[in-house]
Structure 1
């Protein structure tokens, strides 16, 4: 089965975390090598997708410089509901019918078939992450794939069929929030990235991680 072209793929950067291990800072806006971390992630993910969305619950104006911002959270549940709520919010935007606007390419009006997800604190993502995740899912005839590198699972780096939205909403409405459990119930498969650099999926969660990331970024 042929892989979809970029117009059929939307990207999502998850930026709705509390940053509790980063002294409450908005991690996507923490400066790494002279730029907010979200800038590093967007620069790597944007060329792989046709549309880039950022889910966030604060500083929407600043995130808007890097992508289309959607609110992370449900009005009835409040903020800080975890990455799956951010994915659900992005899928709602993906499926929202857009009125025709002069000058907007037809490809931008189509509903993407895939959503490729990455956290805002993974600044060294592979440049081919989207195609490899989608390729692994297609090869296994699965609606979802997540990254595994050097024996470590990176559940938040995933590609999923946008048609999974109803099932995700049902999962969230049932009170569950665990990413791995949802992926297991959906039949997600692994996409191996053992050939990627060891820091390709590094999560910058703490000030110590940030110092290490600075060293990688300087190389």
Structure 2
């Protein structure tokens, strides 16, 4: 049975806590593509689709807060990485659903939320995006009630998002446009995507 999930029921959690090692250690959120930092591209795409936004970041926190959004860092130094960032966002959210997106995919689909929400059912925990060649576990709509589950996974030593998601009631939603989920890991990636921005 399909569910009706409104934008006001969803908090977007933007994961901006990565180390950016393949870009020389820069804070990816402030890496400039097509004359704007990645965080601005991401906010522009996500903001119309959700009711609230939380940014997960472990550095440049005052700078992110200057954008006018709530910013949270990972709780502990030993729980770092995307899975810890997701836990941070779930903890900070006040809505029943949370959209997770990384900060480095500037061409996010403008129908990301609507299509993921349409795929949710009463027994579904997570809806995840997939393109023809790849699953995108960091582009997902999930129930906030998964917080205890993800914290337990982190405590038990799980660090990979895909490993944690395998034990959830997950549904996959297909997109034909792989470039919509292309992320920026190298200067060459930014050059390749700049023309579409």
TM-score grouping bracket, smaller chain normalisation: over 0.9
TM-score (structure 1 length as normaliser): 0.84
Residue in structure 2 matched with residue 91 of structure 1 by the alignment = 90
Partner Cα separation in structure 1 for residue 24 and residue 160 of structure 2: 24
**Contact 1:143–1:160 (CA under 8 A) maintained in structure 2:** yes
1:54 maps to which residue? 55
Aligned residues: 195
- Asked whether 1:204 is paired with 2:184, we answer yes
Matches within 5 A, 1:69-148: 69-71=71-73, 73-75=74-76, 77=78, 81-94=80-93, 111-138=94-121, 141-148=123-130
Q: Is the 8 A contact 2:123 2:169 kept in 1?
A: no
Name 1:101's counterpart in structure 2: none
Aligned 8 A contact 1:15 1:120 in 2: yes
Give the C-alpha shift of residue 76 in structure 1.
Answer: 5.3
Counterpart CA distance in 2 for 1:122 and 1:12 is 13
Q: What are the superposed Cα offsets for residues 172-199 of structure 1, whole Å, 9 maximum, x if unpaired?
A: 00011111111110121211112xx331
**Counterpart secondary structure, 2:185:** coil
Residues 131 and 77 (structure 1), Cα distance of their counterparts in 2 relative to 1, 3 Å cut: same
Q: Indicate the RMSD between aligned Cα atoms, in angstroms.
A: 1.5
Write the mapping of 1:130-169 to structure 2, written as runs, cut at 5 A. Answer: 130-138=113-121, 141-169=123-151
In structure 2, what is the Cα distance between the partners aligned to 1:192 and 1:3? 20
Deviations 1:125-159 (A, max 9, x none): 01110121122122x83110110012311111001
